Amino acid sequence: MSSESRLSLLDAEFIGFFTRIATVLGIPKSVGEIYGVLFAAQDALFFDEIAQRTGLSAGSVSYGLRFLRGIGAVKLNYVQGDRRDYYVAETRLKRLTAGLLREKLQSYFIDGSGNLRRIAELVHKIPAGERRQHFAERAGMLNEWHRVAAEFMPQLLESSAPSGEERSNK
């Protein structure tokens, strides 16, 4: 193993930092490890380098890179004369935040809508009375929260999207 592919204590601290963030966000630790390796790297890394530095399986690295690319946390970097894909970490906080919000909130709204429909169906099956009224009020409250959140989601995503200057510096 070359000295460049070996992890230093500093590399390990970067990886640990992003692994803890991934855990808090409910993202697999391996995704945090991959991002940490790329964040700490001076140069773009190709797939095998990432796998070697993290010690992760090819499947985990593949999943992690797909996930990170999907939220805009990792970009492909072209290296002239090399057919391999090279990866670099997105380091603009605004861009990272936008991708994470989009990923987490969109799944919330997709899952949440179905959950709210099931709640409404179950409430209607409860015999009329105080208990049904209580759950109907709570279901109505959840529906209102969902509506308000859906109304503000585009604004939230827009406020964390890259500015015109950031977009032009891609």
Over 50: is that where the pLDDT of 2 sits?
Answer: no
Q: Is 121 exposed, middle or buried (0-12, 13-18, 19+ CB in 10 A)?
A: exposed
Fold of 9-89: Arc Repressor Mutant, subunit A (1.10.10)
> What pTM did the predictor assign?
0.70
pLDDT in tens, 106-165: 767 766 788 899 999 999 999 999 899 999 999 999 989 888 877 777 666 666 555 544
pLDDT tens string 83-103: 999 999 999 988 888 888 877
Q: Where are the beta strands (DSSP E) in 38-99?
A: 45-46, 74-77, 86-89
For the chain, the domains span 9-89, 93-168
pLDDT of residue 151: 78
Reported confidence tier of residue 168, pLDDT bands at 50, 70, 90: very low
Structure tokens at 64: 């992690």
User: Is pLDDT at 31 greater than 70 in this prediction?
Assistant: yes
65-79 average pLDDT score:
93
Phi-psi region of 163 (alpha: psi -120 to 50; beta: other; left: phi over 0): beta
pLDDT tops 60 at residue 167: no
